[in-house]
Amino acid sequence: MSERARSLYNTASTLLEDGKYAEAFVLAYAGLKLLKLEKTLEDLWNDFMSTGRIEEEDAVQAIDLLRRSLGIRKEPIIEIELNEIDLGILGVAVIAMILTVLSGDPFWLLPLWTNVISIPCIACALSIFVERVVRKSKRIYLEEG
Distance CA 48, CA 58 (A): 10
Instruction: Indicate if the pLDDT at residue 145 is higher than 50.
Output: no
61 Rama class: left (phi>0) / alpha (psi -120 to 50) / beta: alpha
Strands (E), 2-90: 77-79
Distance CA 19, CA 49 (A): 19
Q: 10-55: per-residue pLDDT in tens?
A: 999 999 999 999 999 999 999 999 999 989 899 999 999 999 899 9
Q: 68-126: per-residue pLDDT in tens?
A: 999 888 777 788 888 999 999 999 999 999 999 998 888 888 888 899 999 999 999 99
pTM attached to this predicted model: 0.56
89: which residues sit within 8 A by CB, 6+ positions away? 125, 128, 129, 132
